[in-house]
Structure formats: C-alpha cells, structure tokens
Amino acid sequence: MTRSAILAVFLAFTVTNPAQMAFAETPQVPESRAEIQLSFSPIVKETSPSVVNIYASRVVEERLSPFADDPFFSQFFRSGPARQRVQRSLGSGVIVSGDGLVVSNYHVVGEASDIRVVLSDKREYKGEVILADKDADVAVLRLDGASDLPALPLADSDALEVGDLVLAIGNPFGVGQTVSSGIVSGLARSGSAIPGGAGSYIQTDAAINPGNSGGALVDMSGRLVGINTSILSRSGGSNGIGFAIPANLVREFTRQAEAGQTRFIHPWSGVSTQSVDDAVAEALGLDRPEGVVLSELHPQSSFATLGLTAGDVLLSLDDQPILSPSDLEYRLSILPVGASVKLSALRAGEPVELDLSLIAAPGSESIDRVEITSSGPLGGLVVADLTPALIDEYGLALMSEGVVLLDAQGPSARLGLRPGDRIVEVNGTEIRTTKDLQSVARQKIGMWLITFERGGRLLRMRVK
C-alpha cells in the first residue's frame, strides 16, 4: 500500500469516529464531591480525640565524678552527695479505655514522678503508671477521675500488609497535635539497627519525630494498629524510617492492666534461638530458609518438655510464621500465660504439629530474698539464688547459675555493684548459693577480692 493510500485510510477513520477523537482529547470531569475532595479528614476527626499529649518529669541525680558508679575507681574518687535536677520529657499517648486507660512508651513516662495528660479538647488529668515494661517500651497509665473518654479501638496488627495506608498522630517537638500520612513499609522489624533492638516492630514512612513517641499509628478504618516508638535517623528528625509497637502487644498490656496486674507477665520461652539463613538451611537439609533453629533449651522450658532439642527448627506459632528470634519472643508476649497454642516445628528433621503450653518463668511467684548482715564490706547486700524468672528479668545467659544481686544497702552500697550483677567468687571461694555468700561474708580479713559478672563480662575489684 502506498503512503497516500495509508493517509487516506487514517483520515477516513478519524472522520468516521469523532467520539473516539473527543474521548482522547477531553479530560474527564469529577462528578461528585468525593471525587473532588479526597481527604483523610474523616479518619482524623474520628481518631485524633483519642490521642493525648503527655508532659512528664522526674528527679534525677547527677554524679559530679565520672567514676562515681565504676566498681573499681569509685573507691578512689569520692564525689560526695549527688546533685539533683528535674528532667522533663514530652510525648504522646493513646486512650484505649473510656474509663481512663492510656498507653504510651516506657521511655516517656516509665520513671516519671509527675505526669500531666492533656486531651485534644484541653481537658487535663493527672496520670499514674499502673503497668510498665522497659524492654517492651510500653507503659499503661490511669487518668485520675477520668470517665467517658473517646477510646480508640484496636486492630489486629497481624492482619497488616506492607503497602497499607496509615496515619501517625502525635505531638512532635511540642508544636501541638499533628497528623502525618504514609504506608506500612515493613513488618516484624528487629535488629541492632533499630533503636531498642528487640521486639517485632511495624515500620512506616509516615513522619515520626521527637514528641510522637507514644502516639497512635492508625489504619484507614480508624483503628489503632501500633504505638509509635522510635525512628532511625542521623539528624534526630524524620528520615522516613519509623517504628511502632504492634497493637496486639498493646492489647495484652491493656488486658493485664485491667485485670490489676502491676507487672507485665509474659510466657517464658526458656530457649535460645538463631535465625535460619542459607548456610543454616543447607546444613539442616531445608529447601529454603525459614523459622528459627534452637541452640539452647532450659530443662524447665515448655519446648524441652515437648521433646525438642538443639538443632530442631521452630516454624510457626498460633499459625503465624516465626521470622526471627525476637519475633518468637513477640509471638509469645501477645499470648496469655496458661494458654495452649499450636506449634509447627521440624523435630529431628520431621515436620510435627505440637500443643505448646504457655508458662510463666519458674520463680515468678515469689523471690527468696536474703540480706547479708555481716559487718564487713558485703553487709547490706540483698541477693537471691538464680531462678528462670530472675534470669529473664535481668537478661542473663539462659543457663546461668549462682547468686544474683537484687539490691545494695549499708556498707555494700559503696561497692558500685548493681542489681542484676551475678556474684561469682569472693576471696577465692566460688559462690554457688546465697548460703555460700553468707558464710564468706563473715570472714575477718583486711583485703577483699570480689569477682562478679555484668553484661556477660567478668569483673574483679579489691576492697579494703
């Protein structure tokens, strides 16, 4: 066909199809108000009254000498009484119960002596922390005299998917309540790059800044999906990488607070695990990396009673995949002690479905505290024989044994020992029980050599 013939066909088509020409050239006009004004404002109006501003203060002691808390150098640098100052913090919180329960971060209110909570309608209440956990960075407050407050419903955070739209509501930099939008950027985040390190966080690119801590991360149905807690930033401002504590953990904290618990009780795993990567998967004969592999099991662990041993792989808990060691601990934390859940695992290389009983760490019910009453430098130490509950509380190695320090009073307060230190040896005598320490403490000698463990390191100090 010649060029002239092709041109004739094209012109004939355009003349005989004017509707198509009009469609191609004329943009569509919005036909409704909803199409003209797309906005998050209905969700904001519904949820923002449930987000509060928190003003907290506490009295802290400042040591004039940098060696004041050092277990060795403190005996040479006596700085006298510490100087006190008031430390103030600003954050946010979320009303989760109409009768005055508010959830925030531990780092906002956990150690505060005075807490003032201001609602979006300018009402003010005095707040009191009734349940808190530093490791989880969650605190539950009770507002004095509050009732009929606008509580925010909690979503199932396990139903979140990457790409879901979310709003972050809080009080950044104290400028007043602010809303930022974004998406869920990632799920089950953990690791050394994340402030706090532990946990299983929701990652979002909704702007989170200082003051947003404890505020709400809400979905497009106006439900709480997370409590904003930290950001990854070199400048201190939002870099588009923020983290939130999942609502399912908030739900368990709220349940325990309403039940009158003053200390968060979570099921105890009693195991040490590591992630399964390509190398580990190949060594275990797995088709692909999945789950976590058991490396250590405490004899009293529920996992051990099921016949699981080191080298077995945990795949899922309560039908949710176990993505990392911290994700396993999170999965346990959102479940109540006493429940039984389905565990999928590879035991000796074979897939099994097991019923796992969730127990509290043995020793949680009571602690056998022993005070050293001798006149020597150890006088005033309050110690206890190690139990799984104390190992869990102080973050000690899973198989730790011996004696742990609970408090130091009297003469021993000057030694620089801290709660959670494990007393290993005194004057060449191994300390296995509190009775061993009581016996050694009665010695009448001029120089004492004390060996203790702190943060996985063995330290020694001499005391006259």
Q: Please state the separation of Cα 219 from the chain's center in Å.
A: 21
157-182: b (≥16 Cβ within 10 Å) or e: beebeeebebbbbbbbeeeebbbbeb
Q: Catalytic site residue 107? A: yes
Query: What is the token pair recorded at 119?
Result: 């609602």
Single out the catalytic residue among 92, 107, 302, 324.
107
Query: Do 216 and 242 contact (CB within 8 A), yes or no?
Result: no
Evaluated on CA atoms 464, 428, 70, 369, the torsion sign reads negative
Single out the catalytic residue among 137, 219, 385, 421.
137
Single out the catalytic residue among 213, 324, 344, 374.
213
Q: Catalytic site residue 298? A: no
Query: What is the token pair recorded at 407?
Result: 């408090």
Q: Which residues contact 35 (CB under 8 A, 6 or more apart)?
A: none
Residues annotated as catalytic are: 107, 137, 213
